[in-house]
Amino acid sequence: MCVCGVCARRVSCVGHGCMDAPAATTAARCQMSEAEARAPGPVRAHNKSGKAALSVTDADAVQVLAWARMVDDALVQQQEGLCATPCQLYPTGDGRITVAGKKVCYAYQAVAHRKFGRDELSKVAAAKSQDDLVISHLCGTRNCVVESHLILESKRLNDERTHCHYTMANVVRKSGRAGLAAAMDLGLCDHNPHCGSEHTPVSKYFPCCGRKREMRTRCTTVNCRERLESL
């Protein structure tokens, strides 16, 4: 397998014209024009639904809170991550919540909805372009549901963190937590917040209804109180 000089696709050399192929095959260049090769390809969606935002934001806010409580009450699987507190995984194969036989969302998305509120989570696009906002894991553990391990940031920054996570995990395997602490003191990670740190801001939104918190410490909406008490 080689890389075509026009479209940069990994393809078989024979009959495709890879520059590293024998002379007999280089005449058969890729038929894609250079303009087509430079054009951006289709953006893949998180959930392959074609929606602009995550599907969890389509659900009723109180219902999403109930799903987050399901995550809290589940017998989560603990594993060591890069944060000081252990990571927790929802006990299903793919990390998604199933209600009445239907997969409704990933467990960490329900937890993020409770932490950041509907308005903020609605800014997380279903597409995965570099400038889109995504739910990022500071712990480096895919599908972790620990609230303090989750932040919202661009996919570009989230992708950069994967290099830190890989290096930090190697340091932990070879030198333990003490070695990781020493490496961090030497400037191993320059992200803000640091990889492996915990993010626990005071939410600006009520988890029950997604409205802005403003100066009140509890939501006083009668409808919210009644519905939450019934869950």
pTM above 0.75, yes or no: no
Which one-letter amino acid corresponds to residue 23? A
Domain ranges of the chain: 2-38, 55-230
pLDDT above 70 coverage of the chain, percent:
65
- Span 187-224, pLDDT tens digits: 999 999 999 999 876 555 555 555 555 544 455 555 55
CA 62, 64, 68, 71 dihedral sign is positive
C-alpha 172/C-alpha 37 separation (Å) is 42
Q: Beta partners for 79?
A: 87
Q: Where does the chain have alpha helices with state H?
A: 23-26, 34-38, 61-73, 107-116, 118-121, 155-185, 222-230
Reported as half-sphere exposure (CB side, CA atoms, 13 A), residue 150 has a value of 22
How does pLDDT run along the chain (231 residues), one tens digit per residue? 454 544 444 444 444 444 444 443 333 344 444 444 445 444 444 445 566 778 888 888 889 999 999 999 997 889 999 999 999 999 988 899 999 889 999 999 999 999 998 889 999 988 778 889 999 999 999 999 999 999 999 999 999 999 999 999 999 999 999 999 999 999 999 999 999 999 876 555 555 555 555 544 455 555 554 554 444
